[in-house]
Structure 1
Amino acid sequence: MSREQALTRLAQADWLDAARPVFDCLDGAMGRTRAVGGIVRDTLLGRPRGSTDIDMATELTPDEVLARGKAAGLGAHPTGVEHGTVTLVHDGRAVEVTTLRRDVETFGRHARVAFGTDWTEDARRRDFTMNALYCGVDGVLFDPLGGLEDCLERRVRFIGDPDARIAEDRLRVYRYFRFAASHGEQRLEEQALAACMRAAGELGALSAERVGSEMMRLLAQPKCAATLAAMVRVGVLAAALFSPQALKALERLEALPLPITADMRLAAMELTGAQVAALRVEWRLSNATMASLGQLTAALELARAANWAELAYRHPERRTQAIALATALDQHAIAWMNEAISTVEGMGSRNFPISGADLLAHGMKPGPEVGAELKRLERLWIESRFELDRDGLLEQVRQP
């Protein structure tokens, strides 16, 4: 992609019109407020975003932002005033506005900062050059650190000294690898990698929630096996978690022509010996994630046993993912996967055609025998590949 194409895409971005009321009330036309970070970076790259939220930077103080937002009829919320951040809401879209900052004292993530008006100084406080790109209300790029070239070259590069950037917030080690996978085509810069290796032994104080959030976002990328291998190599991740066997399985999974999710990678890790249950604490995995992983693992067992009917019946939403995992873990050919998916999808989604009430109406007496008989009939129905209909199942009912 050429520089000209990227800049044209930015100038014509739909979100500029959506954000105009915020720009207008914060002196955007005077260059006092600009969009910054992900929305600018991903627009330049033509990369779809999962969120419609916009980040902005401004010379105005948080109190001024609040007052102006309310006067303009926008929703105005002091979501992080101590850090200089106010959230303005227009037409259901949230815009997080942060006052430009400069360091007064630097001591890690809790550095003392003061509000300022120097855009270049604000840019230097950010993590990567591709995240220090700003855009005015007119769609013109403001690039104080020359990050556009890095962005277009998919080069994830720390701003200034990587060791200094990491010392400000050690979570940036995990962010570096996550961005390398999401925006850097898994290419790792030697200087950055060396800095991450030096910091690897000092990551224990990071909160489990912050680490877990970064790791789950990393595992959700289309490809990340090579990045995970590098994290193991430099000591950021434990080798016991991502063994050579697990990494090979993840590589095979990524080679399949199907979308890969974080849950699928967690399941592959678990089936290759990783203690994923321990990650519930180490990464603060949510109950929803653990429940999803349990469902996927159960579906995978059926896929590995080629029990297509039961897979189609019990896990209609997981069947394709389970077959993909079985393909990668058991090293099946793509043809095997395609045939399995076709077979399972051809069975559709099924509902067991009888209930306990049917058995009672058929003459069974209330009691535990009804539940046991339902399970037996359900098994017959699945084994028949759903050929047995309601009448056929009722003919199979055992009378006490």
Structure 2
Amino acid sequence: MKVTGAWIEGKTTQAVMAMLAEAGHQAFVVGGCVRNALLGAPITDIDISTDARPERVLELAGKAGFKAVPTGIDHGTVTVIAGGIPHEITTFRRDVETDGRRAVVAYANSIEDDAHRRDFTMNALYASADGAIHDPINGLPDLRARRLRFIDDPRARITEDYLRILRFFRFHAWYGDPDLGLDAEGLAACAELSEGLEQISRERLGGELMKLLSAPDPAPSVAAMAHAGVLGRILPGADARPLPILIHEEAQRGVSPDALRRLATLTSPDAEALRLSRQQARRAGFLARAAREGAALAPLALDHGADTARDVLLIRAALLETPVSDGDWRFAQTAAAQDFPVAATDLMPDYTGPALGARLAALRSAWIASGFTLTRAELLDLPRE
């Protein structure tokens, strides 16, 4: 079996691998690029494993005229940029000590040693420059079955890095067979060791959760997280039950997946808990509040646009376990396209200060109630209340 495609057959990646091979070193593309190539999924990163030490990789890259950046040299990683494409080159490694967040590694000389320190069997597939697959731990059957399993002992893999608990659910959402369910042994280990997530930085937890919630259908994984006690560890008070309803409504309406919309369905997010960006926290928090507090649809669409109104309708439908009505869906689109025809200057100097704001609000309410049909002149002629 071979992997093919421009990502591996292109002259830049071939040149980087030849740089290592011609100097007498082993070189294999590994991990996500191989997995995704075999699944027919997009390839976003090119990772290369080698027996060359990082200092040697830097030396060879310099001689070849490539830019080399010691992005993780303490852990054996050098990023070599060729043709504008980054290639993350990491020396074969084996863990000698871990604390659940980071590992002390020793260099190894074979892909067998390197494979056994990786997380999941489907991520421990290697390919040489000609695309030939090397499968040192027999991960291909799991990949073909879309079965996500930890390598060797799940507990050992998790205690090396507790973030692998979230990665277990994330990778299942993206690559697992939903009909198979999650691997029972792996799920039990995640539940048993979930307290270890408290050692992981908020940034890493938030990043993994956003990737999970971006999957086409993360609902089964999130439900399993809730049952295992993992969801409550990272999002206290979160409720996984509305999520499958939201995802169904998204599919019915042809709306693309959105991690923040889905997060706002699970909970009113605490920005600090996940270290969201200010913009992300503001949007997710607003959606959660508007959906739960019953914000009126017309002002929502007028003030915040059609996309925000759509998201609130979808979240509200999930929380209430009721489909979005066609009428509300159309009204939100119509309302968002309207422009209120009265400006503050139209009411001055007869109205100033708080009275001006109150009059504008009253006229806008009347305009909305008319189905946006009242003209500027008609609104200005309305009697004072």
After TM superposition, the score normalised by the length of structure 1 is: 0.81
Corresponding residue for 1:66? 58
The letter for the 2-side match of 1:385 is G
Query: Shift of residue 165 of structure 1?
Result: 1.1
Cα deviation, residue 120, structure 1: 1.2
Q: Is 1:12 aligned to residue 2 of structure 2?
A: no
- 2:166–2:208 Cα contact (<8 Å) kept: yes
1:322 equivalent in alignment to 2:316: no
Matches within 5 A, 1:182-193: 182-186=174-178, 187-193=181-187
Q: In 2 relative to 1, CA 352–60 (structure 1 residues): closer, same or farther, beyond 3 Å?
A: farther
CA distance in structure 2 between the aligned counterparts of 1:11 and 1:24, rounded to whole angstroms? 17
Aligned-pair CA distance for 1:231: 2.4
1:45: Cα distance to partner?
A: 0.7
State the Cα deviation string for residues 105-132 of structure 1 (Å, max 9, x = none).
4555444322233111111110001111
Structure 1 stretch displaced more, 79-88 or 382-391: 382-391
Q: 2:256 — aligned with what?
A: 259
Aligned partner of 1:175 among 164, 167, 170: 167
Change (3 A) 1:235 1:344: closer
Q: Give the whole-Å Cα distance in 2 for the aligned partners of 1:150 and 1:28.
A: 33
Residue type at the aligned position of 2:266: M
Contact 1:253 1:260 in 2 (8 A): no
Q: Which residue of 1 aligns with 2:105?
A: 113
Question: Of the candidates 366, 373, 381, which is equivalent to residue 387 of structure 1?
Answer: 373
Mapped partners of 1:28, 1:329: distance in 2: 60
Unaligned runs of 5+ residues in structure 2 are none
Deviates more, 1:105-114 or 1:204-213: 105-114
Q: What CA distance in whole angstroms lies between the structure 2 residues aligned with 1:67 and 1:338?
A: 63
Work out the CA distance in 1 between the residues paired with 2:210 and 2:361. 38
Q: Does 1:94 align with 2:86?
A: yes
Q: How many residues matched?
A: 376
Equivalent-residue separation in structure 2 for 1:255 and 1:21 (angstroms): 46
Sort the Cα spacing of 1:117 and 1:393 in 2 relative to 1 into closer, same or farther, 3 A: farther
The 1:358/1:118 distance shift into structure 2, 3 A limit, reads: same
Q: Could you tell me which amino acid in structure 2 is paired with residue 379 of structure 1?
A: S
Q: CA, structure 1 residues 265+106, in 2 after alignment: closer, same or farther (shift >3 Å)?
A: closer
Name the CA shift for 1:65/1:337 in 2 (closer, same or farther; >3 Å): farther
Name 1:47's counterpart in structure 2.
41
Q: Distance in 1 between matches of 2:135 and 2:25?
A: 13
Alpha-carbon deviations, 1:349-372, whole Å to 9, x = none?
A: 334445445555xx5577555444
Amino acid at match of 2:280: T
2:346 and 2:87 map into 1 onto residues whose CA distance is: 56
Q: What does residue 301 of structure 2 align with?
A: 312
Contact 1:120/1:144, CA 8 A, preserved across alignment:
yes
Output the CA distance in 1 between the equivalents of 2:83 and 2:325. 45
Gaps of 5+ in 1: 271-275
The correspondence of residues 265-276 of structure 1 with structure 2, limited to 5 A, is 265-270=262-267, 276=268
SS in 1 for 2:242: helix
User: Residues 254, 220 of structure 1: CA spacing in aligned structure 2 closer, same or farther, 3 A cutoff?
Assistant: same
Kept in 2, the 8 Å contact 1:101–1:122? The answer is yes
Q: Is the 8 A contact 2:77 2:89 kept in 1?
A: yes
Query: Which of 212, 219, 224 in structure 1 is aligned with 2:218?
Result: 224
Amino acid at match of 1:255: H
The residue matched to 1:47 in structure 2 has which SS?
Answer: coil
Q: 2:150 maps to what in 1?
A: 158
Aligned amino acid, residue 134 of structure 1: Y
Q: 108, 125, 128: which is aligned to 1:136?
A: 128
Q: Is the 8 A contact 2:243 2:262 kept in 1?
A: yes
TM-score (norm 2): 0.84
Q: Supply the distance in 2 between the matched residues of 1:107 and 1:367 (Cα, whole angstroms).
A: 61
In the alignment, the residues of structure 1 paired with residue 339 and residue 16 of structure 2 have an alpha-carbon distance, to the nearest angstrom, of 51
- Match for residue 340 of structure 1 among 307, 323, 328: 328
| CA offset digits 1:209-230 (Å, max 9, x no partner) | 2222222322332323332332
CA distance change for structure 1 residues 19 and 392 in 2, over 3 Å: closer, same or farther? farther
Q: Secondary structure at the match of 2:48?
A: strand
Distance 2:22 2:332 in 1: 55
Deviation sequence 1:43-83 (CA, Å, 0-9, x none): 2111235xx33222222222222233334333321111111
| 3-state SS in 1 of match to 2:68 | strand
Task: Indicate whether 1:281 and 2:267 are aligned.
Answer: no
Paired with 1:206 and 1:44, the residues of 2 have a C-alpha distance of 31
* SS of aligned partner of 1:40: helix
Partner amino acid, structure 2, of 1:314? D
Cα distance in 1 for partners of 2:22, 2:169 equals: 34
Q: 1:82 to 1:294 in 2, by over 3 A?
A: same
